[in-house]
Amino acid sequence: MNLKKASVIRTALLSCTCLCAVASVGLFVASYNMSTLNAWLIPQSREKNQDWVSIREDDIRVGATVPSNTNVMIYLPEEITRITRKTLFGRRGINIRYWGFCFPQTQQEAESLRRRGLPGTIFLSEKEREVREAQYLEKVKSSLTIYDDRDKKSIERRVRESYGSIRHQQEIFVGGTVCYVMTEDPLPIGTDEDKDAANIKIENIYGSDPKNADTDADGILDGLEIFHLGTHPNRRDSDGDGLIDGIEDKNRNGRIDPGEPDPTQWDTDGDGLCDGLCKVNNGKQILGEDKNLNGELDENETDPTLVDTDGDGILDEQEYYNCLLEGGEDC
């Protein structure tokens, strides 16, 4: 780190100390835009004496936890070229309120931010933005005496103006950045070396390989399995129906699209036959819909997403048992 950058960081850290001291009494007045001078409330812990914690580069490389109700400084490892806020904080922002800001890395950036009246760029979790917007909306509504179409437009305008003063600014983080974070609940933080959108702390929790984007080689990225599909990144066949997760999610986009069986359900259509090929009754009887496990509807197979594949009014399960009763060998 050169002397100029070090000077910027030291100045920024001093600004952080002052800012958080103000946060402890609950109010920070910032001239975000000279045309709209606003005061905004910084979320704060219910604890009177908040601790200070530093999460260093080595901690983030192996995965760490951002504690709740604590003033936390994080130092991102230099080798990070790009990581999203969602990945850095384990995609917990939808349900957890957290906020923070990152300090400038260059003198030019610092001077630009200083003119705006802020010590850095702000980031707010999805939940934090939702709560703040609702608070402003309620505040504006309470100031109105008549609620008609005209007032609705007034509300929308005033909410946008108020909310704009604390808008979310930073979504992409890079190595060497120093940030302050405050969260209501613990956050898993870590790097994402394999670029699968699951940071190393999350992968440690699930037992997947943080250096392999598709640990179980089922064709679906670990992050998609964990955060979207709900399948397990260490199991090729999460629901045990004989079909690999990547065959059930045919386009491997982490969503269950029309015509795709559910990789978390043994029997997607609920017709009593498993999606793939399953052994029951101590392994003596075999029943299933996609018997050759290729993800296609072939001859003498039924569709795992339809209870009545041929539309004849007889459920697939009943047709299966009718076939058995008739002595069929390929039911």
Query: What confidence score (pLDDT) does residue 34 get?
Result: 28
- Structure-token pair, residue 28: 């920070």
Number of domains into which the chain is organized: 2
pLDDT band, very low/low/confident/very high, at 1 (cuts 50, 70, 90): very low
Q: Coil, strand or helix: which one is 282? A: coil
Q: Work out whether strand 52-55 and strand 71-75 pair parallel, antiparallel, or are unpaired.
A: parallel
Q: What does the alpha-carbon distance between residue 51 and residue 70 come to, in Å, rounded to a whole number?
A: 5
Question: At 43, which amino acid appears?
Answer: P
Residues 184 and 74 in one domain: yes
Q: Coil, strand or helix: which one is 227? A: helix
pLDDT in tens, 258-311: 999 999 999 999 999 999 998 776 666 678 999 999 999 999 899 999 999 999
Q: What does the alpha-carbon distance between residue 75 and residue 60 come to, in Å, rounded to a whole number?
A: 8
- Structure pTM? 0.78
Residue 257 inside a domain? The answer is no
Supply the range of the domain harboring residue 99. 3-189
Question: At 226, which amino acid appears?
Answer: I
Lowest mean pLDDT among 109-113, 180-184, 196-200, 264-268: 109-113
Contacts for 95 with CB less than 8 Å, ≥ 6 apart: 127
Q: Work out whether strand 172-173 and strand 277-280 pair parallel, antiparallel, or are unpaired.
A: unpaired
Q: Is residue 194 a contact partner of residue 219, using CB atoms and an 8 Å limit?
A: no
Tell me phi and psi for residue 292, to 5 degrees.
-95, 5
Query: What confidence score (pLDDT) does residue 313 get?
Result: 93
Residue 244 inside a domain? The answer is no
Residues 92 and 179 in one domain: yes
DSSP state of 213: T
